[in-house]
Structure 1
């Protein structure tokens, strides 16, 4: 991918799922990837498999944790905010603690990471910020009000910041996957099975039905969209939400 060779890229949540697929895609395009996450095991495995050049252990929801990691690994030209989490509950049982967790990991963590790397990008006159949102940033889903609100907020952050930096060589975009084959979806399948008594195949089909293609999105498909947005060819793409969902969101 032209323009990515030897550029430093940071991928939060880079040890598993979509984040790992993104780290691998950027590495394959020649970028020097640092994967950041909370668990050493998956991060180390990603490096050993050649999907990242290095890793840093940090919780993006902890104040100052990302900045400390950044001081060790150096400022990136590319930041992909892929760390995220989803918890479900009926709205009337969605307490303040759950709201706080969803906002911190899905919105405030991305804002903090972006704030830490942006000065260097602006000084260089080139940078790419890609936020991994969700189709939940584009539409509503029942029983995940806090998660949906946080992802809507992440898209708002994307659009507003994109306008601030539009003339400064930095682009800010969001990728919005539908239900994707990740640990988060596996947890959703387990919850459906527990609550409804359905088998695994039926539970997976319940999630896949949202996609007009009748399947779950694959992590590498999300990574391909991120790779495009990080490249030189996407220099005029800014403040956009790219849905990777088989046509779920009009």
Structure 2
């Protein structure tokens, strides 16, 4: 696969799934911009192949400015990966507006703003791929995570609608829906579950492992491989789809 000349813009690109995707696309020849809220984290992993750019997906003006800066530096965005997100469970009766608003601002508003701004330059080209990193929670909901599940359902609705808006154009819109992936989020959630329930950390981690059908955590490279397929040759008819990576049927 040759992505030479293609500019990929990835939010949440400094760690976990986003970083795995960024490195894979760069290895295939793409010019890759990674964003996140901490410039120092991005610079630590960027090396010579990735362009680090601090950006807060919750802030419209920041997204507008940083996408424009990335386009000026690396050309029109032709691969847009809205990946930045929060993953935290909380019972609805314990969910206050600050928690709800921050989750929606990061997971849903952030995807909307990123895609909208990237489309500005993508629409001037003859090829483009938008691949949102959603979750199995966007398809069936997760117990104890109503806010998170709602944000990912919204992301999938956005992707499906955009696929209809651009039907017949040389752009596709898809969502990847992973189960639990072995990233720093798992570590944070393990600690959170242990605090809330009194479990030891091993049992708390086992709760998440058990949610995947094959009873193991996914690897970030598995998600990157799915992205590689969607930007590769022969993917032009994959559009408006939710691709579930969860170790088995949901």
Q: Which residue of 2 aligns with 1:225?
A: 226
Q: Is the 8 A contact 1:211 1:248 kept in 2?
A: no
- In the TM superposition, what are the counterparts of 1:11-160 in structure 2 within 5 Å? 11-48=10-47, 50=48, 52-74=49-71, 75-160=76-161
Q: Is the 8 A contact 2:77 2:119 kept in 1?
A: no
1:8 has 2:21 as partner: no
- By how many angstroms is 1:77 displaced? 0.8
- What is the DSSP-based 3-state SS (H/G/I as helix, E as strand, rest coil) of the residue aligned with 1:234? coil
The alignment's C-alpha RMSD in Å is: 1.3
Gaps of at least 5 residues in structure 1 are none
- What is the DSSP-based 3-state SS (H/G/I as helix, E as strand, rest coil) of the residue aligned with 1:156? helix
- What is the DSSP-based 3-state SS (H/G/I as helix, E as strand, rest coil) of the residue aligned with 1:124? coil
Higher mean alpha-carbon deviation, 196-205 vs 101-110, is at 196-205
Please give the alpha-carbon distance, in whole angstroms, between the structure 2 residues aligned to 1:122 and 1:244: 29
Q: Is the 8 A contact 1:131 1:173 kept in 2?
A: yes
1:179-222 Cα shifts (integer Å, max 9, x gaps) = 11111111111112223333332222111111121101111101
Tell me how many residue pairs correspond in the alignment. 246
Q: Which residue of 1 aligns with 2:180?
A: 179
Q: Which residue of 2 aligns with 1:167?
A: 168
Gaps of at least 5 residues in structure 2 are none
- What is the DSSP-based 3-state SS (H/G/I as helix, E as strand, rest coil) of the residue aligned with 1:209? helix
1:215 has 2:212 as partner: no
Please give the alpha-carbon distance, in whole angstroms, between the structure 1 residues aligned to 2:204 and 2:179: 16
